């Protein structure tokens, strides 16, 4: 069954109004007719609305709510991925796969070893592209929310932003061994918010690691092998997903 997101105000007591690009997708791509069934979510809670299409209009579709289900799809903790900006189009893949793994929010970062440069216009275009990828990935993986891709921050801004979170992890090749990493991950409880900091190509600068530690971050290892920037975040998210996922 096809899944769509709407704003909370588009959901009434008995009917849901679908607007925007999804109208064209339902009518002209999926070629759905009156009586067709869809799933609708508002991107903010754990409810899924099973609906039947009732009315097509030029700029909207009206769907009748058949029943509402409380879904347990989201992880019990909110995970924030602070991703050092990689070269090329790697960020697109990182966004897509991290959303499949349950990330709550993605924060792109400029660090000392970041290679690419963005002006305001380029960043705006990239964020528009990233937001579209996030929505598509959320639909594909049947997420209840569309994780936000925030504005690009510098490392210092990102550290300050992360200070509000309960647990802050920074994978680092010089961190202590797997035993300590397992102990730290094992202490994370469902419901705690978690930051994961991933460096760009070339990793983090030593001064950045010191700043992170001064702000209460835990350096952790992801193993003896050196992982690419597009791999490291996904490895960390996979470990956290396995640890936190409900039975």
143-173 per-position pLDDT tens digit: 988 999 999 999 999 999 999 999 999 988 7
Phi, psi of 189 (to 5 degrees): -105, 145
Read off the pTM.
0.83
Burial 210-231 (b: 16+ CB within 10 A, else e): eebeeeebbbbbbeeeebebbb
pLDDT score at 119: 87
How does pLDDT run across 225-235, given as a tens digit for each residue?
888 999 999 99
Q: Is 1 helix (H, G, I), strand (E, B) or coil?
A: coil
How does pLDDT run across 65-91, given as a tens digit for each residue?
999 987 778 899 999 999 999 998 999
| C-alpha distance from residue 212 to each of 14, 149, 216 (Å) | 50, 22, 7
Confirm if 26 and 38 have CB atoms less than 8 A apart: yes
Rama region for 161: left / alpha / beta (φ>0; ψ in -120 to 50; rest): alpha
DSSP letters for 79-119: EEEEEEPPSTTHHHHHHHHHHHTT-SEEEEEE-TT------
> CA–CA separation, 155 vs 82, rounded Å?
9
Ordered structural domains, the chain, with CATH: 3-70 (2.40.240.20), 79-244 (3.40.1280.10)
């Amino acid at each position: 069954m096809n899944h769509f997101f709407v704003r909370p105000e588009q959901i009434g007591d008995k009917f849901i109004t679908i607007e925007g690009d999804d109208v064209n997708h339902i009518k002209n791509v999926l070629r759905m007719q009156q009586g067709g069934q869809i799933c609708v979510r508002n991107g903010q809670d754990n409810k899924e609305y099973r609906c039947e299409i009732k009315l097509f209009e030029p700029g909207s579709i009206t769907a009748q709510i058949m029943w509402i289900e409380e879904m347990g799809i989201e992880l019990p903790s909110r995970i924030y991925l602070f991703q050092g900006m990689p070269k090329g189009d790697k960020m697109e893949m990182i966004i897509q796969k991290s959303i499949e793994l349950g990330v709550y929010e993605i924060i792109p970062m400029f660090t000392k070893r970041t290679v690419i440069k963005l002006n305001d216009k380029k960043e705006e275009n990239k964020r528009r592209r990233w937001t579209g990828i996030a929505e598509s990935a959320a639909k594909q993986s049947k997420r209840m929310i569309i994780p936000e891709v925030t504005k690009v921050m510098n490392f210092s801004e990102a550290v300050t932003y992360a200070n509000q979170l309960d647990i802050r992890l920074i994978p680092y090749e010089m961190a202590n061994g797997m035993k300590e990493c397992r102990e730290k991950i094992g202490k994370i409880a469902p419901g705690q918010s978690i930051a994961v900091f991933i460096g760009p190509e070339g990793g983090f600068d030593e001064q950045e690691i010191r700043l992170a530690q001064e702000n209460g971050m835990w350096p952790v290892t992801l193993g003896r092998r050196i992982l690419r920037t597009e791999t490291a975040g996904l490895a960390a998210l996979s470990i956290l997903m396995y640890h936190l996922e409900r039975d």
